[in-house]
Homo-oligomer: A and B are copies of this chain.
């Protein structure tokens, strides 16, 4: 059976990548990878759904065993993508979507050169600011730091295969779905079958 497609979705905070991903998984049959973290669960977060919650020691020994596809430290906590789940799904022919930061995306690309990298952009700088303030839950300082981080993450866009400008949620969802669907038809994905079919034809020609 053909292996599944590994898709990495990144984007600025406020780009809407989380909403796109939820909706893609809702509409289509993709496997969503659950991250591990050492930060404390927040109200309503469920083990194995929101995150796998680990102690720092557990996390570090998983790093030592090469148990993460990618991992990083933010504000004192570790975050990572466990390798076992992803590999199992890909082997079963299932497409997997990872929502991760650009630095993690670079780690994935190195280990899985066939991974498809998508960067989600807001339609404008103005709109990004509006979405970040519109949440109404963040201080002006937090918003500024998100905008700053966005301007830093922009340097990574050149490493992505696709850019989706998230103007309309429905359109963006269809775009992400089409990108993953099309990756299943890359020539390399059908190399074995192509070989077989062409040999069969050659044999039939005298």
Which residues of B are found within 8 Å of A126, using beta-carbon distances? 200
Beta-carbon contact of B178 and A124 below 8 Å: no
A135 at the interface (CB under 8 A from B): no
Beta-carbon contact of B182 and A162 below 8 Å: yes
Which residues of B are found within 8 Å of A196, using beta-carbon distances? 124
A40 at the interface (CB under 8 A from B): no
A54 at the interface (CB under 8 A from B): no
Min distance, Cβ A1 to any Cβ of chain B, angstroms = 14
A118 to B128, CA, bound (A): 37
Which residues of B are found within 8 Å of A124, using beta-carbon distances? 196-197, 200
Min distance, Cβ A175 to any Cβ of chain B, angstroms = 5
Take A162-B182, A178-B178, A190-B163 as given contacts and tell me if A157 and B198 are in contact as well, using a CB distance cutoff of 8 Å.
yes
Which residues of B are found within 8 Å of A121, using beta-carbon distances? 190, 193-194, 197
A148 at the interface (CB under 8 A from B): yes
Give 1 or 0 for each of A157-176: 1 = CB within 8 Å of chain B CB: 11011111100000000110
A147 at the interface (CB under 8 A from B): yes
Q: Give the copy number.
A: 2
Q: Which B residue sits closest to A122, measured CB to CB?
A: B197
Which residues of B are found within 8 Å of A154, using beta-carbon distances? 198, 201-202
Beta-carbon contact of B179 and A125 below 8 Å: no
Among candidates B161, B178, B185, B202, residue contacting A164 with C-beta atoms closer than 8 Å: B185
Min distance, Cβ A44 to any Cβ of chain B, angstroms = 31
Beta-carbon contact of B193 and A165 below 8 Å: yes
Among candidates B160, B162, B204, residue contacting A147 with C-beta atoms closer than 8 Å: B204
Q: Which B residue sits closest to A118, measured CB to CB?
A: B185
A160 to B196, CA, bound (A): 17
A residues lining the B interface (CB < 8 Å): 12, 118-119, 121-126, 128-129, 144, 147-148, 150-151, 154, 157-158, 160-165, 174-175, 177-179, 181-187, 189-190, 193-194, 196-206
